[in-house]
Structure 1
Amino acid sequence: MNKNSNKPIESHIVPKQNTPIRLQEYGVGIFNAAITKSALKKALKKKYIRVDGHVATTATFIKGGETIDIFITEAIKPKKKLIFPLEVLFEDDYLAVIHKPAGILVSGNRFKTIANALVQNIKRSELPDAIIPQPVHRLDYATTGILLVGKTSSSIRALNKLFENKEVDKSYYAISIGEMDMEGKITSEIDGKKSHSNYRVCESVPSERFGKLNLVQLEPETGRRHQLRIHLSSIGNPILGDKEYGIENLILNGKGLYLHAYSLKFRHPFTNEEIHLKDELPQRFKKIFD
């Protein structure tokens, strides 16, 4: 440890934990100097983190009550702030729900991501295990709609558990192309894993270019990558604007993908309240379907 770094640049006192948890899992998002999981692991390997004065490793477990200190010996360059206003649909001390616009990644290595914009748009939690807010699920780059965010380390773990146990009901709307049954269930393998989606046609309109356009409500039972896009394409009804899974001569350029994450329904893991939130359809949907 560098002699000049005998003072931690950040400290955190761990609240009581029901079960012991690895520091490298618990600590994600707690320290500004090591926000991501990979940055935290790197800091642990470089021996920059101490728990109750002892150097921590990737094998360190915490139980509650410990003081975690982070010491960074290298000069830290000030991070650029992403100024990107987001619409917040719901917020409390544990979690938030926001509207994700099209054309931005939820997270990743790019500077412009929802994850990087959250800190500017969401109030920091007052709870002892408050962390930098993080999305707890994903939406595609081109998809708009409702996105759930955790604001504390215990909330992120609890929300992840809800998704794992299929206790979050999600519904989407899409505009699909062509004649299709009024409702159905699509089952297929995606990346070697079973996937299921339910759909219901709410309304259809004739289209000179596309024959017919359908406003379709979708309820995925599983959460595979690009699942809804792949499923609708597999039955011959690709989503309007889908360049990857669309029909070559029926690609709509420049208007984006007509897929919108409309609602989330789940039981709040801390207040036990039934949460049912909706993100209204974008204007471009309403131009086709009133």
Structure 2
Amino acid sequence: MEKHVFVVDESDKGARIDKYLSEIFVDKSRSFIQGLIEKDGIEVNGKIPKSNYKLKTFDKIEVTFSEPEVLNVEAEDIPLNILYEDADIVVVNKEQGMVVHPAPGNYNGTLVNALLYHCTDLSSINGIIRPGIVHRIDKDTSGVLVVAKNDEAHNKLSEQLKDHSMKREYYALVEGRIKNDKGIIDKPLARNKKDRLKMGIVEGGKRAVTHYEVLERYNGFSLIKCVLETGRTHQIRVHMASIGFPLVGDPLYGFKKQKFKINGQMLHAKTLGFIHPTKNEYVEFTTELPEYFRTILDKLRKE
């Protein structure tokens, strides 16, 4: 356990505590500091503050960093499709059907299990279950995601996710022929109150924005490209279903009657672009659609 104590002087009066501490601990992002406050790791004059607390002269701030928990998730020799790797990040093309990180009842066969076998180091920010995981995609969604090897890289990538500067493009096959070539869906998302496995359009939920573009139209189906302005759980799946064009194969939000026998929604994270956390230059990774996806598109084109 590591503890730091600060006394606020006149020059820092009025500053937000999360901003103030992120400037002191240059390897920690504001989102990390906010998370530490939520975990009662920061006190001001003996009390837990809010993230937007404005500092006063002579405030006594105590910051406690707990030792990272020892990972107890087993490493497994599972093949990975690695697109890029260096000392700070690993970019992976995840196959459909692979869970990103362990969860109760499913501690094996995940991307994290495979990464622990492949990498000697992963960031510790997300704890023992999600080491290195900056963002995730659903089990039955395939495609590209980036994993952090150290906490500094993790913090910088997380900031890009938070300020929506990370480029994320998805390809999806949806039910129906969409008339408009382009569209924007701006609808708030939150957990479905009647079914906790689902998300839903909920007034007062977190703002969610999806930009979509029709790439091809078929007999009763459309291939679209979705660009995420925000990254909420099941965002594309819920948004497209909300306008009457659910994803093909989606077991939660799709039609009960399906034309194709597939395992889950036809959604692929095709392109991911971001500023490299240490090189400070823009990098972009694009992946091909998986074979099953291409096969179905070929069938639709022939029809």
TM-score by length of 1: 0.68
- Aligned match of 1:262: 270
Determine helix, strand or coil for the equivalent of 1:193.
coil
- 1:60–1:216 CA distance, 2 compared to 1 (3 A): same
Partner deviation per Cα, 1:71-103 (whole Å, 9 max, x = no partner)? x9xxx9x97432211110011111110011122
Q: Which residue of 1 aligns with 2:184?
A: 185
Question: Which amino acid counterpart does residue 182 of structure 1 have in structure 2?
Answer: D
CA distance in 1, matches of 2:118, 2:259: 35
Deviations 1:36-90 (A, max 9, x none): xx9xxxxxxxxxxxxxxxxxxx95249xxxxx899x9xxx9x9743221111001
Q: Aligned-pair distance for 1:220?
A: 1.2
Residues 105-254 of structure 1 correspond to what in structure 2 (within 5 A)? 105-109=99-103, 110-122=107-119, 124=121, 134-180=132-178, 181-191=180-190, 192-206=205-219, 212-250=220-258, 252-254=260-262
SS of equivalent to 1:96:
strand
CA distance in 1, matches of 2:26, 2:118: 32
> Tell me, what secondary structure is at the counterpart of 1:248?
coil
- For the structure 1 residues 69 and 235, does the alpha-carbon distance in structure 2 shift closer, same or farther, using more than 3 Å as the test? closer
**Counterpart contact for 2:27–2:155, Cα < 8 Å:** no
Q: Distance in 2 between matches of 1:229 and 1:267?
A: 27
Normalised to the residue count of structure 2, the TM-score between the two structures is: 0.65
Aligned pair count reads: 222
Match of 2:64 among 35, 60, 65: 60
TM-aligned CA deviation for residue 147 of structure 1: 1.0
* Code of the aligned partner of 2:80: L
- Structure 1: unaligned runs, 5 residues or longer: 1-16, 27-37, 39-57, 63-67, 126-130, 207-211
Deviations 1:179-232 (A, max 9, x none): 2122111111111112110101111222xxxxx221110001111110000011
| Structure-1 separation of matches of 2:25 and 2:251 | 47
Q: Match of 2:280?
A: 272
Contact kept, 8 Å, 2:74 with 2:113, in 1: the verdict is no
**Percent of pairs with identical residues:** 32
Spell out, residue by residue over 1:253-273, the C-alpha distance to the aligned partner (whole angstroms, 9 max, x if none).
444321000011111121012
Q: Conserved in 2, the CA contact under 8 Å of 1:134 and 1:151?
A: yes
SS in 1 for 2:207: strand
Root-mean-square deviation (CA, aligned residues, Å) is 3.1
d(CA) in 1 for partners of 2:187, 2:228:
12
CA contact (8 A) 2:140 2:263 kept: no
Structure holding more strand per residue = 1
User: Is the contact between residue 85 and residue 121 of structure 1 (CA under 8 Å) also seen in structure 2?
Assistant: no
Contact preservation (8 Å) 1:135, 1:147: no
CA 1:101–1:86: 2 relative to 1, 3 Å:
same
